[in-house]
Amino acid sequence: MTFLNYLISGISLGSIYAIIALGYTMVYGIAKMLNFAHGDVIMVGAYICFYAVSRYSLPPLVGVILAMLVCTVLGIVVERLAYKPLRSAPSLAVLITAIGVSYFLQNAALLLWSSNPKVFPNAFVINTIDEAGNPVVQSSIDLFGGQLKVSFVTIATIAICIVIMLALLWFTSKTRLGKAMRACSEDKGAAQLMGINVNATISMTFAIGSGLAAIAGVLLCSAYPTLVPTTGSMPGIKAFTAAVFGGIGSIPGALLGGLLLGIIEIFAKAYISTQLSDAIVFAVLIVVLLVKPAGLLGKQIREKV
């Protein structure tokens, strides 16, 4: 049963990584840039939700929607101001700009919200009454006669991840905008000649990625409830790793990479060593890339001679 427990928390953590990794992978696919500020958008989303719920007592769902709106706008604004002027610049210049944006977001958060850790409220609870008639806050469900305890956050995380993934697959394969997105990631010049507004498509990709980051932020902080201005960096790096793991640019790859990374991390913590879990995760990544140099689902592109 403990194995199953670890597996479930691994899948749950992996689902969060997968949602973040989607943002990395879509932006990489279309703009060919590593958006290092993506992790910090997660943090912003979590803060917005936190303040909406605990300061202004809004319902959690409204808090999440508000966070998504703010992050979507943030994503578009950042893209317009910082990345769009560098469309034709060398990729390293864009990378450094993204790092600048990341510093900016972290330090702005530090000024606005201070470095004191905020304890994120768990929104995934049910208020019930126990046998004695006292109100109880129930945050998890017992399975197999209490042998397996699964929190609602875990269930919600996995469910939300599945919904997002299906929605994105539908979006990219069936809708006009989604097809435009795929066309732009294949060949921007050709897409433009076919009448696709490349700039608008890139903005939209950033918007979607940032909106998803907000959801990931809320889920992450519901599961690991300490919120500080640097909350987003490590999950950001891990999710980026997950995106590469699965094959950067591939949406199913982000899901696969995220899930595997989450499971490996939890198992490494449980069975090998808590302190070395990060090292183990990265070591697995290295081994995978040596066997499959373009990630698990990535396409190896051969240079024409």
Partner 1 sequence: MANKLNTLNKTNRWNYITYLLVIIAYVILQVMSSTGSISSSLKGMLVPICAYVVMAVSLNLTVGVLGELSLGHAGFMSVGAFTGVTAAVSLQNLIPFAPLRLAVSMVVAALFAALAGFLIGIPVLRLKGDYLAIVTLAFGEIIKSIFNNLYVGLDESGFHFSLLSDTTDLSENGTLIIGGPMGIGSIQKISTFTAGFILVMITLVVVFHLVNSRAGRAIMAIRDNRIAAESVGLNITKYKMMAFVTSAALAGSAGALFAMNYSTIVANKFDFNTSILVLVFVVLGGLGNMLGSIIAAAALTILPEALREFSDYRMLVYAIVLILVMLATNNPTLKSFLARLKPGKRGEKEAA
User: Cβ of residue 31: shortest distance to partner 1, in angstroms?
Assistant: 13
From the list 118-126, 158-166, 238-246, 256-264, the region that binds partner 1 by CB under 8 A is 238-246
Interaction between residue 86 and partner 1 (CB under 8 A): yes
What are the residues whose beta carbons fall under 8 Å from the beta carbon of 6, sequence distance 6 or more? Answer: 266, 267, 270
Interaction between residue 271 and partner 1 (CB under 8 A): no
Residue 197 and residue 184: Cα distance in Å, rounded?
9
Helix pair 176-186, 152-174: axis angle to 10 deg: 80
DSSP 224-290: S-EE-TTTTHHHHHHHHHHHHHH-TT-HHHHHHHHHHHHHHHHHIIIII-STTHHHHHHHHHHHHHH
Where in 53-82 is the site for partner 1 (CB under 8 A)? 82
Interaction between residue 291 and partner 1 (CB under 8 A): no
Closest to partner 1 by CB, 100 or 117:
100
Residue 26 and residue 22: Cα distance in Å, rounded?
6
User: Cβ of residue 240: shortest distance to partner 1, in angstroms?
Assistant: 7
From the list 63-71, 159-167, 193-201, 276-284, the region that binds partner 1 by CB under 8 A is 276-284
Interaction between residue 180 and partner 1 (CB under 8 A): no
Q: 124 and 137 in contact (C-beta within 8 Å)?
A: no
**Chain centroid to CA 255:** 10
Amino acid of residue 109? A
Interaction between residue 185 and partner 1 (CB under 8 A): no
Binding positions for partner 1, rule: CB under 8 A: 28, 34, 82, 85-86, 88-90, 92-93, 95-97, 99-101, 103-104, 107-108, 110-111, 237, 240-241, 244, 248, 273, 275-276, 278-279, 282-283, 285-286, 289-290, 293-295, 303, 305
